[in-house]
Amino acid sequence: MTLYKRFCKRSFDIVFSFLGLVLFSPLILTGYVIASISTKKSGFFKQQRVGRGGKYFNVIKLRTMRDIPGIDATATAKTDPRITKGGAFLRAFKLDELPQLRNVLAGDMSIVGPRPDVPGFADKLTGDDRVILSVRPGITGPATLKYKNEEEILAKRENPETYSRDVIWPDKVKINREYVENYSFFKDIYYIFKTIIS
């Protein structure tokens, strides 16, 4: 990605995330209350993810899951017992993702890009696949759109964790690599539009 493209992308992220935080602040506040009541913890959830250059950062989301001893899988199926009723509502409308606009404004993320993964995935990329780490991870993107029903897909699998790691993850790497290598600002606008209407 050229310096000019990076400048345009980052400038758009700053403006879009700022306006988004202002516009969606009532939804974020409402979601925070729902998350706090349903999980009996702080409505905001922070988790370490892998960012640009392989550096770690804390992603901010609305908490949708309770802690259940013995269950610590990173792949989440729709039937995961850790998801609360309030959390299921937030996840269904993607409201749990809105606080990530704060990550975008801070420069940890972009509006569009590869989804930030937990340690053990993106930071283990090798060879040409590491080009994915040359850009900021995004809230949405082509891989996110393809697997927008990932939780439902995993719910149908006997071993969601294995299927996520061996089937979905390699496909996401392929899609994200193509996104980075063929980056277009207008495609970013398209992905945002697709995310809104889907």
pTM above threshold 0.85: yes
Q: Which residue has the higher pLDDT, 78 or 24?
A: 24
What is the mean predicted confidence (pLDDT) over 46-67?
94
* Residue 110: band (very low, low, confident or very high) from pLDDT cuts 50, 70, 90: very high
* Residue 155: band (very low, low, confident or very high) from pLDDT cuts 50, 70, 90: confident
Long-range CB contacts (< 8 A, 24+ apart) of 193-198? 194/145, 195/140, 195/144, 195/145, 198/145, 198/148
Query: What is the reported pLDDT for 56?
Result: 95
- Alpha-helical (H) ranges within 40-129 are 85-92, 100-106
Express each pLDDT in 28-38 by its tens digit: 999 999 999 99
Cβ neighbors of 16 (< 8 A, separation 6 or more) are 104, 111
